[in-house]
Structure 1
């Protein structure tokens, strides 16, 4: 069988709304990790034109690592690809928006008996008994543009100047991120061992990244086996319930023995510095094998859509 034509579709991080880590060096790594049964090509996203759509249709599959273009987000790219019947590896616009809009998370989690922090109206903050709150962009990345404040010091003016944000109680406790990828034969999905995001000291307030101090990535964290299995089961159930395609990564915290979902990412970054490649590699799934599985489950979905059973 001749190799299928695969094209990696991306925008440099400077062109994406949230400045995701993706550069020419990232794509060079992707090319090296292309499965043997595909012949790889690369293109920048150049615009929402019929001519560009016709160009992409020449390929058997688009590996979609385009996290946006200008003001358009990754979900808008997926919608445009779907509208032109272009086969690609990302979830549909509807699924991505469902996950991206944090206003949807309480209802999604309630339906599958998973906890998530409630969304609080600004006018109610002073009347509730929570000690601390976190402010997030409603549609943005969880780890960007965060604001944490104590209930005794509510920054009303700053909050009134913000747009498209949500307020939630700040959940203390250990934080983990959990990847979900296709299984080896592309017929189901599997959750990977949680990676812990830990502050470099004993502080109670921390956010992955550097905005509230340095955090560390801990592979194979010290966690009870029963709790680990429960985390993986809940995240896998969430992935399947939402019918996310290919892969996902979900952030959770454990507070007083309860698991709280914080955020769902339907297109986790695959740059070597990012979480999902590290988590997969830790379980013996290198980038080439991860790509093979994503392409396989995508091809199966296009040829014969699968209704996955709940875990």
Structure 2
């Protein structure tokens, strides 16, 4: 059987809007993890040109790990690839755009009977029942550019300066991130065991990362079995209702016994130090096995007909 020609399409962290964790070492690990039935190549994203589109069309499949380019986000990269009828592994533009838009999240969660924090207009903060709030970019990710503030000290100037900020009550509770990948046969999607993001002390305010103090990644957290299963099924429903492809990772807060959806990542970073590979490895799924499943899923569904690729129809 002739090996398919696969090309990894990426941008270095310095060229992506949110400075995602992807470097030369990341791509080296990708090459080492490529399944044997693929012959791998690598390219930077160099721009929205017809010449570059023609270059990408030479390959059987574009493994899309391009998290943006300059001011353009990952969903806009996918949109351009689709407009040029280039087959790529990431979720399609419309699905990514819907998942990234926090203004649309309440309606999306309502469709599957899930909770998400309410969105509060700036003018209603002073009279709102909540005492603590969080402001975050409407389309942002990676827990960046978030601001937590108290009702008694609302930073009106900051909130008015920044465009497209979403303001929500800050939920006190435990935070988890939950990954979705194809099963071993790449016929269905499965949910991996939630990973807990825990502050390194007993503080109430924390965000994954360093801005509000360091956090820790806790594998196999202590969690009621029924609640854990509900958490996994909720995230799996989200993945399916959005018609996401291959994989996703969703951040949630457990507050007052309820599961709240915070953010949906349609293109989880695949660097070895990032959440999804870390969670998968804990369940005995190596990066090579993860790539095998992702590519087999793509072949099972999207290589069948071009119209399936462009329409994003799942079987």
TM range (shorter): over 0.9
Report the equivalent of 1:148.
Answer: 148
Where 2:152 maps in the other structure, the secondary structure is coil
- CA-to-aligned-CA distance 1:132-183 (integer Å, 9 cap, x gap): 0000011111500110001111111111111111000001100000000011
* Cα gap change, 1:142 to 1:151, in 2 (>3 Å): farther
Report the equivalent of 2:297.
Answer: 297
Report the equivalent of 2:79.
Answer: 79
Report the equivalent of 1:88.
Answer: 88
Where 1:118 maps in the other structure, the secondary structure is coil
Distance in 2, matches of 1:263 and 1:92, equals: 18
The 5 Å alignment of 1:1-311 reads 1-304=1-304, 305=308, 307=314
State whether residues 136 and 142 of structure 1, in contact with CA within 8 Å, keep that contact through their aligned partners in structure 2: no
- CA-to-aligned-CA distance 1:44-102 (integer Å, 9 cap, x gap): 00111111111111111110000011111101110111111111100111111101111
Where 1:102 maps in the other structure, the secondary structure is coil
- CA shift at 1:104, angstroms? 0.8
State whether residues 135 and 146 of structure 1, in contact with CA within 8 Å, keep that contact through their aligned partners in structure 2: yes
* Cα gap change, 1:64 to 1:307, in 2 (>3 Å): closer
Q: TM (normalized to structure 2)? A: 0.96
Distance in 1, matches of 2:298 and 2:171, equals: 36
- CA-to-aligned-CA distance 1:162-221 (integer Å, 9 cap, x gap): 111100000110000000001111111000000000000000000000010000000011
- CA shift at 1:307, angstroms? 4.1
Unaligned runs of 5+ in 1: none
State whether residues 252 and 261 of structure 1, in contact with CA within 8 Å, keep that contact through their aligned partners in structure 2: yes
Distance in 2, matches of 1:86 and 1:155, equals: 45
Unaligned runs of 5+ in 2: none
| Alignment RMSD | 0.9
Distance in 1, matches of 2:294 and 2:77, equals: 18
State whether residues 18 and 142 of structure 2, in contact with CA within 8 Å, keep that contact through their aligned partners in structure 1: no
Where 1:296 maps in the other structure, the secondary structure is helix
Q: TM (normalized to structure 1)? A: 0.97
Count matched residues. 308
Distance in 2, matches of 1:56 and 1:158, equals: 43
Distance in 2, matches of 1:152 and 1:72, equals: 37
Distance in 1, matches of 2:62 and 2:303, equals: 15
- CA-to-aligned-CA distance 1:96-119 (integer Å, 9 cap, x gap): 110111111000001110000010
